[in-house]
Amino acid sequence: MERRLWQHLDWPLLLAVMALTCVGLATIYSVTWNLATGAPGSEFWRQAYAVPVGLVALIACVLVDYRTLAQRSPFFYVAMILALVAVMVFGVEAKGSRRWMSLGVGSLQPSEFARLALALILAMVYGDARRGARSMGELMVGALVLAPAFILIFLQPDLGTASMLLPVYFGIAYVAGLRMRWVVGAVVVAAMLSPVVWAYGLQDYQKDRVRTFLDPYKDEKGKGYQQIQARVTVGSGGMLGKGFKQGTQGAYRFLPEGHNDFVFAVLAEEQGFVGVITVLGLYLFVIWRSLEAARLARDRVGAFLVVGLVSWFLCQVVYNITMQAGLVPVKGLTLPLMSYGGSSLVATLAGFGLILNVRMRRFTN
């Protein structure tokens, strides 16, 4: 690769991404620390091994011109659909859903990679069009592309990950020129339909979840437990936090999933509001810096690719962190870059590889 390209690599963005990855790793180290053995838990080591794998994926995604990748996107998309079908058939079942493929050395969660393929193909679909997605027909094309992946992941079942494909689609559609009155109209219709959805569309357990969210103290020991303990975990951190490896809520499992979905709460507990603001700042920096890449992109394919990935990133980060504060219902959604999960980390780093790719090649033809 040309030397000139390396000069255009967005080092501050890469550094911020790696900083968040390291903060996540350190928090997992702390929360899985075993007093008896004096060592971190196995989750830490597995996450640590995923980092170099993710870096390799990132570099691979930087090296090949994103336009080449976009042109090959139908191939990636079909491969992804096949992988999701394979999971349905051969996948490992855990906690009532089939999300993982066993790979001998470890396991792979194909749904984490779906958004990459989706962003690439949607960027190509809308980017290559002469005009933006301004008509209903053009909008429907994207929706048709989205549907198979969404349905396959939804059936695993993994509503959370499936839902997080929607921002990829809507983000790209939005910058591609989606008419604002449709957006407003959709919101109004959704608001009007919500009582109907409540009455007919939701299963009882889903209604329970919403009710629990609205009043977690009604079932303090049961369904409301995580939400309450998340708030206690965060709140007890105070301004400066309890200190590294000094947390109690996560370490003693009063808040379950302290290394995973609730890693941010553990960070808030141990590093306090100061740590929270620092990490929030890093995430905001990553998002703004990535959007800057979209603005600088040489073509619409690049811009849309970045926007699709950033939209997903923004939505999942915000939902997860809002969940730590107990302000949205608890959903099995990880915090990108920080939560435990090899597939998620590798896919996310690969995504940032694509974003770096777009910015780096803004001057090339």
Partner 1 sequence: MVSPGASGAFGDRQSTESRLIGLRAISLVLFVFLAVAFWVLQVLQYAEHRERAERNHTRTLPLLAPRGVLFDRHGEVLVQSRRSFRIAIVREQAPDVLASIRRLAAITHADEAHMLAILQRRKSDPIFRPIAVIEHATDAQVAAVVAQQLELPEVVVEQVPTRTYPEGGLAAHLFGYVGEVQPSQLLRAEFAGLSQGAIVGQAGVEQVYNTLLMGTDGNRFVNVDSRGREVEELQRQEPVDGQRVQLTIDADMQRALEEAFRADGYNGAAAFIDPATGEVLALTSLPAYDPNDFAAGISSSVWQALNADPLRPLGNRLIQGLYMPGSTFKIVMAIAALEEGIITPDSVIGCRGSGVFYGRSFKCWNTKGHGAMTLRHALEQSCNVFFYTLGERMNIDTINKWAAKLGLVGKTGIDLPQENASFMPSTEWAARTRSDGRWYPGETISVAIGQGAVTVSPMAMAMMMATVGNGGTLQTPHLVKAVDRGQGKGWEPVPPPNPRSTFVMAPDHLAAVREGLWMAVNTPMGTATRRGKIDGKDVSGKTGTAQVISNDNKAAAKAAARAAGRNPAVFDDHGWFVFFAPRDKPEVAGVVFTEHSEHGYLSAPIAKHVMETYFAKKEGRPLPVYQSPAAPVKSVVGPVIAGAPAQGGGR
CB of 309 to partner 1, least distance (A): 12
Number of residues this chain uses to bind partner 1 (CB under 8 A): 57
Instruction: List % helix, strand, coil for the chain (3-state, nearest 5).
Output: 70, 5, 30
277 near partner 1, judged by CB under 8 A: yes
Per DSSP, the three-state class of 65 is coil
State which residue, 97 or 236, has the beta carbon closest to partner 1. Answer: 236
The two structure tokens encoding residue 136:
């209903």
CB of 94 to partner 1, least distance (A): 21
Selected binder of partner 1 within 24, 40, 272, 336 (CB under 8 A): 272
Q: Which stretch binds partner 1 (CB under 8 A): 63-71, 82-90, 192-200, 228-236?
A: 228-236
311 near partner 1, judged by CB under 8 A: yes
Contact 57, 350 (CB under 8 A): yes
Cα–Cα distance, 144 to 141 (Å, whole number): 5
Contact 145, 124 (CB under 8 A): no
8 near partner 1, judged by CB under 8 A: no
The two structure tokens encoding residue 125:
């679909």
State which residue, 53 or 325, has the beta carbon closest to partner 1. Answer: 325
314 near partner 1, judged by CB under 8 A: yes
State which residue, 156 or 229, has the beta carbon closest to partner 1. Answer: 229
Cα–Cα distance, 286 to 188 (Å, whole number): 32
Q: Kindly give, in sequence order, each residue whose CB lies less than 8 Å from that of residue 109, ignoring residues fewer than 6 positions away.
A: 99, 100, 101, 341, 343, 344
Selected binder of partner 1 within 132, 160, 216, 224 (CB under 8 A): 132
291 near partner 1, judged by CB under 8 A: yes
CB of 343 to partner 1, least distance (A): 25
Chain residues 171-200 in contact with partner 1, contact rule CB under 8 A: 171, 174-177
80 near partner 1, judged by CB under 8 A: no
214 near partner 1, judged by CB under 8 A: no
State which residue, 116 or 173, has the beta carbon closest to partner 1. Answer: 173
Question: What are residue 97's DSSP bridge partners?
Answer: 94
Alpha helices, DSSP H, located in 103-241: 111-128, 136-154, 159-163, 166-175, 180-196, 204-214, 225-235
Q: Kindly give, in sequence order, each residue whose CB lies less than 8 Å from that of residue 361, ignoring residues fewer than 6 positions away.
A: 5, 8, 65, 66, 67, 298, 302
Site residues (vs partner 1, CB under 8 A): 35, 130-132, 171, 174-177, 229, 231-239, 248-249, 252-254, 256, 268-269, 272-273, 276-277, 280, 283-284, 287-288, 291-292, 294-300, 303, 307, 310-311, 314, 318, 321-322, 325, 327, 362-363
